[in-house]
Amino acid sequence: MSRLIIVSNRTPGKGPAAGGLAVALRKTLAERDGFWFGWSGKLVDAPEAEARFEEIDGLTVAQIDLTRNDHHAYYAGFSNSILWPSFHLRLDLATIEGHWYEGYRRVNAQFAKALRPLLRKDDVIWVHDYHLIPLASELRHLGLRNRMGFYLHIPFPTTDALYAIPHHNELMRDLSRYDIVGMQAQRDVAAFTEFSDHQSPSSLSGPPLKSVNFSTTEVAAFPIGSDPEAFARLSVTPAATKMVKRMERAMGDQKLILGVDRLDYSKGLPQRVEAYEKLLANNAQFRRNVHLLQVAPPSRDTIKEYQETSDTLDAMCGHVMGRFAEPDWQPLTYVKRAYGQPSLAGLYRLARVGLVTPLRDGMNLVAHEYVASQNPEDPGVLVLSRFAGAAEIFEEALQVNPFDTDETAEALRLALEMPLDERKARWQSLMAAARRHNIDNWATSFLGRLSPEAAQEEGGAARDILYLASVA
Ligand code: ADQ
């Protein structure tokens, strides 16, 4: 079997990770020959051209350093202040600085130059996420003919949001240099198709831009998942039970509503707290009987919009406390830190409601983990945003429009009052879906399409955009 080379912005570190990518891919690479390539996390004045190899928790990892200026332009700048907000349809939160694009391309070229000498002829290369859209172009420019796949973990934008991104046409041409482009949901494939079928890329200067030819790139939905069996086991381990006991001592008979997210404006946290406020305002019977626990470790906190989201959330939580708290009862707890998976699994299992209401999300693995951790005899209820990719998988969740806080408040009421029979029936369908769309099936189906054998089967014929479900 050919080696697998995974490339992502950061190589995985030790300890609990608050990002979905590391959790998802560690297992895949542990089962195959190959290595993981990416940024080391170090900023230096003059990075070495060659990558350093290291073993981290049993994984072979090759890393390079970056300069502070390049990293800022590539990561906080182009990736997270332009691509992330635009792909999540938050153009109002995008900051556009022209020179960031040069840093973004420079880092992609630096990745390619350091990776190229490490590659063998039949290696398969799997590139992850929006930070590295140009990597295939840069590697092809250095003469690489290997199979290359790209997986987009975040949603694909609508065409007009795409046109707001500087250099969008070059980025789309970069995507066309991959053999496979994987997306989270059919929604994303449809948005991509809308763009590729009706391209009229804009440019104020220079000659008219040529349409991008995607005829040799297969674009398909490969919805990511979790390891549901592992979470089910984890949720009854002593470490998880310790967290459950600790919470039960603090909460008594109150029902727990749980949110677990990176602190990010895409996750809809202020709207979520507002919905909870409406639940308490409209349903006095729940006061003293429910508790919202929101776990949200800070992320990307050098970016202004993230600090503002954090401030807004602080203010909203304070407001709800001020309005409803009593000397001997608090309506909510807000914890700004990451927890290890066993503690999370314990919290998921204890929660009567898993409240997962992003305004827009590629998939949302918290929804998968919540479902997997439930007690089959007394499962909780998933309240899920329609705008998470997970909504295509979890039809039996209580799906809400997260912008409509009245609707979310009403879904919370239904969830808290739902009879055991209905909770069980819904959970059984949800768990079956989490099993079908597990992380192994995701990786196997993507890598199956990316393998050299799959390329040969196609016989070199021009390919069209395909619509594939990742698993039957
Ligand atoms: P994220 O935006 O980071 O991922 P998500 O899918 O929810 O979002 O993944 C979060 C992961 O981090 C989960 O495995 C969760 O357990 C963990 N996590 C979250 N909060 C934590 C905390 N407080 N303590 C410890 N762990 C925590 C991006 C995209 C998503 C996509 C994933 C995977 O934005 O849409 O689902 O990649 O493709």
Q: Which of 55-59, 202-206, 280-284, 313-317 has the lowest mean pLDDT?
A: 202-206
Catalytic residue flag (residue 92):
no
pLDDT of residue 454: 84
- Residues 287, 346, single domain; the answer is yes
Q: What is the mean pLDDT of residues 263-276?
A: 98
> Side chain identity at 366, as an amino acid letter?
V
- Residues 161, 95, single domain; the answer is yes
- Residues 129, 250, single domain; the answer is no
Q: Which atom of ligand 1 lies closest to the CA of 299?
A: 3
CA 346 to chain centre: 22
**Catalytic residue selected from 153, 168, 291, 437:** 153
- Residues 273, 411, single domain; the answer is yes
Give pLDDT tens digits for 423-443.
Answer: 999 999 999 999 999 988 999
- Residues 93, 165, single domain; the answer is yes
Q: Is 429 exposed, middle or buried (0-12, 13-18, 19+ CB in 10 A)?
A: middle
pLDDT level of residue 457 (50, 70, 90 thresholds): confident
Q: How far is the CA of 366 from the centre of ligand 1 (A)?
A: 6
- Residues 212, 234, single domain; the answer is no
- Residues 250, 370, single domain; the answer is yes
The sign of the dihedral angle between the CA atoms of 439, 445, 446, 452 is positive
DSSP structure string for 3-19: -EEEEEEE---SS--SS
- Residues 302, 185, single domain; the answer is no
> Which residue's CA is minimally distant from atom 16 of ligand 1?
366
CA 46 to chain centre: 32
State how far the Cα of 25 lies from the Cα of 5, in Å rounded to an integer.
Answer: 11
- Residues 183, 317, single domain; the answer is no
Give pLDDT tens digits for 83-133.
Answer: 999 999 999 999 999 999 999 999 999 999 999 999 999 999 999 999 999
pLDDT of residue 470: 33
Q: 24 in helix, strand or coil?
A: helix
- Residues 49, 110, single domain; the answer is yes
Question: Above pLDDT 90, what percent of the chain?
Answer: 83
Cα 89–92–97 angle (5° rounding)? Answer: 100
Whether 387 contacts 268, CB under 8 Å? no
Tokens representing residue 426 in the block: 């819904």
Is the pLDDT assigned to residue 460 strictly greater than 50?
Answer: no
Is the pLDDT assigned to residue 464 strictly greater than 60?
Answer: no
DSSP tag of 182? E
How many beta carbons lie within 10 A of that of residue 329, not counting itself? 12
pLDDT of residue 27: 72
Query: Whose CA is closest to 112, among 148, 84, 81, 136?
Result: 136
Q: Which of 136-150, 195-209, 299-313 has the lowest mean pLDDT?
A: 195-209
Residue 86: give the domain boundaries: 4-225+440-468
Q: Which atom of ligand 1 lies closest to the CA of 389?
A: 35
Is the pLDDT assigned to residue 472 strictly greater than 50?
Answer: no
State how far the Cα of 306 lies from the Cα of 85, in Å rounded to an integer.
Answer: 11
Q: How far is the CA of 368 from the centre of ligand 1 (A)?
A: 10
Tokens representing residue 257 in the block: 């509503």
Whether 438 contacts 192, CB under 8 Å? no
State how far the Cα of 158 lies from the Cα of 155, in Å rounded to an integer.
Answer: 9
Tokens representing residue 271 in the block: 């709207």
- Residues 182, 239, single domain; the answer is no
Number of H helices, E strands in the chain: 18, 14
Q: How far is the CA of 74 from the centre of ligand 1 (A)?
A: 22
Whether 144 contacts 122, CB under 8 Å? no
Tokens representing residue 269 in the block: 């946290």
Strand pairing category for 59-66 and 52-56: antiparallel
pLDDT of residue 427: 98
470 or 39, higher pLDDT: 39
- Residues 239, 348, single domain; the answer is yes
Q: Which residues contact 290 (CB under 8 A, 6 or more apart)?
A: 254, 255, 256, 257, 279, 280, 331, 416
Q: Where are the beta strands (DSSP E) in 77-121?
A: none
Q: Which residues line ligand 1 (CB under 6 A)?
A: 16, 18-21, 23-24, 153-154, 224, 260-262, 295, 297, 338-339, 344, 361-366, 369
Cα 355–357–362 angle (5° rounding)? Answer: 125
Q: Based on the structure, what is the number of domains in the chain?
A: 2
Q: What CATH number should be reported for the domain holding residue 76?
A: 3.40.50.2000
DSSP structure string for 29-89: HHTSSEEEEEEEEEE-SS--SSPEEEEETTEEEEEEEE-HHHHIIIIIIIIIIIIHHHHTT
pLDDT of residue 16: 53
0.85 cut: is pTM over it?
A: yes
Tokens representing residue 324 in the block: 């409803």
Catalytic residue flag (residue 361):
yes
State how far the Cα of 28 lies from the Cα of 241, in Å rounded to an integer.
Answer: 28
CA 104 to chain centre: 21
DSSP tag of 207? S
